[in-house]
Structure 1
Amino acid sequence: MKNMMLLLSFIALSTSAFADEKLDSEIAQIQHEWAKANYQTPKDAQEDAFKVLTEQAHQLTVNSENAPEAMIWEGISYSGYAKAKGGISALKYAEKARDLLLAAEKANPNVLQGSAYTSLGSLYYKVPGWPIGFGDKKKARAYLEKALQVNPTGIDPNYFYADFLNEQGNYVKAVEHYKKALVAPARAGREDADAGRRKEVEEGLKAAEKKIK
């Protein structure tokens, strides 16, 4: 009986490890497709690229039984789709992104180094406020600061916080975080995303420094 229990425990652990590896692999694929759509696809083709990506990401969420990592990447995909689509009709996709990210935050706020916080923060400051949309600068700041608490040296939390500060007119502090983003540790397997983000950081840094002068 003892040997049988040990065998069952081993099978359960092996199955769980395989499921985790499978999810990690599928998320990595979504990440690469996102980087391709966001940084390597012409502007006039991005809407279609992100539409396909949202469908792939949604299937991953379903297959993973709403794993927070999958919900985060579905939310990020919908956020990209909303940005590419533009206009009032894009708001429903931004709302979909927000709802997915809030669900992921509730399930596990620190998963993927606090990516739910980063993505929610960027949504809240980029989406128009009431009465058009759900944008909220106070919520944006709170989420972006939470993201930095979880991942203080990360390229994404520092970039988005810098971009938010730049938009708010706090150029000195924006420059500080743009510079932190530039020296952020490389992310294994995310070289394509890092390269694209670093260009955005450099552009934001130059714009903020000009405003200081």
Structure 2
Amino acid sequence: MKALIVEDQDRLGRFLQQGLTECSYTVTLARTCAAATDAIVESSYDVVILDLGLPDGDGLDLLRTWRKGGFQEPVLILSARDGVQDRVKGLDIGADDYLAKPFSLEELLARVRSLVRRHSAVKQVVLEHGGICLDLLSHTVTLNGKAVDLTSREYALLEVFMQNQGRILPRTLISEKIWSAHYDVDTNLLDVYMSRLRAKLEVPGKPLFKTVRGVGYQLL
């Protein structure tokens, strides 16, 4: 399980990092809005612990931007702002839970476990987008009701996009999920697979994928 901690206080950040690491989480610590955004672009996380008072912006604005960009992973706000209206605002913007400082590490870990369980339980079995239906149980794909024959790599690539609809996915992130061995993203292997997906799934005049030069791809 991977966790992202967004906390600018060095001592608290390291305390949280140690607590989660001892519970077998792989932890990334970001101290600014910019670093946190870079982190979720470069990798995927099972849970995010987000402070609100960050040196280069407000955590609520950051969360709002993430949600608008298609980021759906569970977020626990950890903040000294403990008023009822603060909690309501945070939850309305898109947080899955809200814990005020000071806090008990034991309670925080329990809330994190709860968020991860709930998120895993509600993951969709069938993903749908633009006439495409991807069945995670049968590993089949249909386009407007007609079966589409995909190789295992093509299916895995499509699943990454269907799980991150609307997000711009960097080449490194896509490759990390598709190729378990070391993969040189400077090669054209990913581009070859993207061309295959386009040929099998795109309707003339209606592009399905957008190439973001110098970054990666986006499912439109």
Which range, TM-score by smaller chain? under 0.3
TM-score of the pair, normalised by structure 2: 0.25
TM-score of the pair, normalised by structure 1: 0.26
Higher-strand-fraction structure: 2
